[in-house]
Each structure stands twice: as C-alpha cells, then as structure tokens.
C-alpha cells in the first residue's frame, strides 16, 4: 500500500454498501426468476424435454445466484479489511484536547 494514499473512508463504505446492495438486489431478482421457472416447469409444461431444459436453466441461475452472493460479500469484506489496513498503518492521531494557549498569548 502506498504511503501517501488518502482515502475518504465514508465514501468508500458508501460505495461498498451500494455494490453489496446491488448484489443483493440481483440475488433477489434471480430468486424470483427461479421461482417462476420452477412453477412453469412443475405446473405448466408436460413435455419432458422442455422440462429438462428449464431445469438446466434453473441450475445455471442458482449457480449465478451463489456467485453473486459470494461476490457481494467478498467485496464488502475486502473494503473493510483495506480500511483496517490503512488505519493500522496510519500515524495520524486526533488531538485529545486542543492547545489554545498559543491563540490567547497573542
């Protein structure tokens, strides 16, 4: 990590949360898609070949659902660990009490 790197932790966390939220949205959308396909396969189609193809689509959608969950979680964990790493190397410390003596001695 660069020594002169400046980050806005708040903005980074907002971006990470937004990306995590988008991943969750896509997961929820895939869950609905899988539910609809499952209903169609189980209740509307009698052809075994078509049901088999729909089953393959459902399997692929479930794989993507898991990938999206893992990706969103991995991204959020990476951001948190990077922030922790920066904070661990940071030498900046906030003053506990301001020294106002120099202002009043003028």
Q: What is the 3-class SS of 61-84, one letter each residue?
A: HHHHHHHHHHHHHHHHHHHHHHHH
Q: Is the pTM of this model over 0.85?
A: no
**9 in a structural domain:** no
Residue 27: the pLDDT is: 93
Residue 64: the pLDDT is: 93
Tell me how many domains the chain contains.
1
Find the domain containing 70 and state its range: 34-82
Distance CA 49, CA 37 (A): 15
Residues with pLDDT less than 70, the chain: 1-7, 90-106
**50 in a structural domain:** yes
């Amino acid at each position: 990590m660069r020594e002169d790197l400046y980050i806005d932790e708040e903005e980074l966390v907002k971006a990470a949360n937004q990306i995590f939220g988008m991943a969750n949205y896509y997961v929820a959308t895939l869950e609905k898609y899988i539910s609809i396909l499952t209903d169609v396969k189980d209740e509307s189609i009698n052809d075994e070949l078509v049901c088999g193809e729909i089953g393959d689509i459902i399997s692929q959608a479930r794989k993507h659902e898991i990938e999206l969950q893992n990706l969103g979680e991995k991204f959020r964990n990476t951001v948190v660990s990077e922030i922790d790493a920066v904070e661990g190397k940071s030498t900046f410390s906030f003053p506990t009490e301001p020294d106002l003596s120099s202002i009043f001695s003028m």
